[in-house]
Amino acid sequence: MLSAIGVDDIEQLYASIPDALRVEGALSLPPAFRSEVELKRHVDGILATNVTTTEVLSFLGAGCYPHYVPAVCSEVNSRAEFLTAYAGEPYEDHGKWQAIFEYTSLMAELLEMDVVNVPNYDGHQAAATALRMAVRVTGRRSVIVSAAVPAAKRAKIDTYLAGAADVLTVPIDPATGRIDRTALGGLLDDTIAAVFIESPNVFGVVESDAASLATAVHAAGALVVCSTDPIALGFLPAPASWGADIVCGDIQSLGLGMHFGGANGGFIASHDEERIVFEYPSRLFGLAPTAVDGEIGFCDVAYERTSLAMREEGVEWVGTAAALWGITAGVYLSLVGPRGLRELGDTIAAYTRYAIESLSGVPGVELPFRGSAHWRELVVRYRDTTVAEVNERLRERGILGGADISDQFPGLGQLSVFCLTELHEQADIDRLVSELREVLA
C-alpha cells in the first residue's frame, strides 16, 4: 500500500508532527495478550474477584436499582447491527430510527406526554437540563429544588445551573418526608422559573400532594419539573396527570441492569408546547412521510435547535449519549406491557409496605415517614448506632444493608435507605428483619 501512494516509509506520513512532540520509544504498557484465550483468562480472572449482589442479599438502591433484565433485552441490544451502528441517516439506518422513535413513543404513552427526547446521558443530566429548559422558557432566574433529591443529583443541578439561575431549596416536612407545603408557598413568586419535585423521592416517599403543589406553582407562573422512575408508573399516576410540565429521570430500571452504576439514560418529556419543544437540547425523532405513499419514515424534529446544527448558538449541546439503552428500554416496555408493569408496581409497593411495617418492630430502628406512601425504597433511622456500623455487621451475615444518606440530612440522624424490588421475596425481608434484630440487640 505504501508503494501505491508513492511513500517509502510510514514515517513520511507523519511529516507534519515535529520531533519535539514525538513519543520516544514505546509507550510503557503491559505486553499485549497474544490470543483471545489469554485475554479472556486475564479479564475474567479479574472480574471473578467481584462479589455481586446476586451472591448476597442486597437492599441497595439509591439511584441504581436491581430490576430483572429480560433475556430479549440483552438479545436485542447485543445485535451487531444495533451495537455497532452510529450516526447514520434513515437511508442506511432506518431500523435504528424506528427503534428509537418507538422507545420515545412508548415512553410518551407511559408518561402521558407527547414529546420525549432521544436519551441523554443520565437522570442527573436530564434533571439539570429540564431545569435550564424551564429557565429559558420563562426567562426567570431562580428555581426551587426539593431537599429530598439525591445529593449527587443536586450537585449536578447546582453546577449546571451556575450562572444561569439561582437554585433554592424547599425543605421537607420532617413528619411526612414530603415537600413542606408552607415553606414552598413562602418561596414562590414571579422570579421562580420552576419547582423541581422528585417522586418517589430520596426517601422512597411519594409526593402524594403533588397536584395541589402543581396548582400553586402554576399560579406563580412557574413550571413543575418532576423527576421520577418510569418503572414506577405502573403503580403511580403519570406526573403529567397531576400537573407536571417537564418530566425527567433515568431509564436504568427499564432492562439496563446495574453495571456498578454505569448504565444510564436520561429522559425528558413534556407536552407538545412549542415554547418548550424549542428548548430541548436533545435530538427529537419524528414520524414523516416518504416519497412512497403510506411508507413510514423518520427524521429529526426541529433540528435547528441543536448544537450539531448551530454550534454554540444551539441549545446547550447534544452528542453521543445513550441511544442503545433507549432501544433497550423500548424493548423492555414492549415485553412487560401494561399488565406486567401494573403487577410489578403492586409487587414492589407491597414489599415496600411489608418491609416498613416489619422493620418498625425492630428495637433501635425508627421509620420516620411510616405513615406516608412509599414505593420501592424506605428510610430507617438507627437510634443508637451508625449506618456504617450496622452495614458492616450485616455484611458479615451476607446482607448488604441500605445506602447511607446520613451526611445529606445531618438534622435527621443516622438514615439508611433500603430498596425492595421484584427480585426480592417475602422471605428476604423476613431474614433482614431477624438479622437486624440480632445486629442491633
Q: Which of residues 41-100 bind another protein (CB under 8 A)?
A: 42-44, 46-54, 56, 58, 60, 62-64, 66, 68-70, 72, 74-96, 98-100
Contact predicate 411/422, CB 8 Å: no
Rounded to whole angstroms, how far apart are CA atoms 180 and 186?
A: 10
In the complex, least distance from residue 288 CB atom to another protein, rounded to whole angstroms: 5
Please select the residue that binds another protein; options are 31, 186, 410, 411, rule is CB under 8 A.
31
Residue-level length of the chain: 441
**Surface-to-core class of residue 55, CB atoms within 10 Å of its CB (0-12 exposed, 13-18 middle, 19+ buried):** exposed
Query: What residues from 116 to 135 belong to the interface with another protein (CB under 8 A)?
Result: 116, 118-119, 121-125
In the complex, least distance from residue 352 CB atom to another protein, rounded to whole angstroms: 7
Query: What residues from 261 to 290 belong to the interface with another protein (CB under 8 A)?
Result: 261-265, 271-275, 277-278, 284-290
Rounded to whole angstroms, how far apart are CA atoms 28 and 31?
A: 9
User: For cell 412487560, what's the residue?
Assistant: 336
In the complex, least distance from residue 231 CB atom to another protein, rounded to whole angstroms: 11
Residue type, 199: S
The residue range among 141-149, 165-173, 342-350, 377-385 that interacts with another protein, by the rule CB under 8 A, is 342-350
Q: Starting from the edge strand earliest in sequence, which strands make up the sheet with 115-116, in order?
A: 115-116, 266-270, 246-250, 223-227, 192-198, 142-146, 166-170
- Counting contacts by CB under 8 A, is residue 181 touching another protein? no
Please select the residue that binds another protein; options are 142, 147, 187, 317, rule is CB under 8 A.
317
Which residue number, 189 or 363, has a Cβ lying nearer to another protein?
A: 189
Rounded to whole angstroms, how far apart are CA atoms 441 and 438?
A: 5
Cβ of 63: how many Cβ atoms within 10 Å? 21
The residue range among 22-30, 141-149, 166-174, 181-189 that interacts with another protein, by the rule CB under 8 A, is 22-30
Which residues, other chains included, contact 245 with Cβ-Cβ below 8 Å and sequence gap of 6+? 134, 194, 223, 224, 225, 270, 271, 276
Cβ of 112: how many Cβ atoms within 10 Å? 16
In the complex, least distance from residue 60 CB atom to another protein, rounded to whole angstroms: 4
- Counting contacts by CB under 8 A, is residue 3 touching another protein? no
Contact predicate 360/133, CB 8 Å: no
- Counting contacts by CB under 8 A, is residue 178 touching another protein? no
Please select the residue that binds another protein; options are 143, 192, 226, 243, rule is CB under 8 A.
243
User: For cell 408557598, what's the residue?
Assistant: 185
Extract the C-alpha cell encoding 43: 479479564
Please select the residue that binds another protein; options are 188, 321, 378, 399, rule is CB under 8 A.
321
* Helix (H) / strand (E) containing 66: none
Contact predicate 324/77, CB 8 Å: yes
* H-only helix segments in 151-225: 151-161, 181-187, 210-219
- Counting contacts by CB under 8 A, is residue 175 touching another protein? no
In the complex, least distance from residue 408 CB atom to another protein, rounded to whole angstroms: 14
Query: What residues from 356 to 375 belong to the interface with another protein (CB under 8 A)?
Result: 371-375
Please select the residue that binds another protein; options are 171, 191, 218, 428, rule is CB under 8 A.
218
In the complex, least distance from residue 384 CB atom to another protein, rounded to whole angstroms: 22
Number of residues that bind another protein (CB under 8 A): 224
In the complex, least distance from residue 354 CB atom to another protein, rounded to whole angstroms: 5
Query: What residues from 377 to 416 belong to the interface with another protein (CB under 8 A)?
Result: 391, 395, 400, 403
Please select the residue that binds another protein; options are 352, 365, 378, 390, rule is CB under 8 A.
352
In the complex, least distance from residue 413 CB atom to another protein, rounded to whole angstroms: 20
**Surface-to-core class of residue 208, CB atoms within 10 Å of its CB (0-12 exposed, 13-18 middle, 19+ buried):** middle
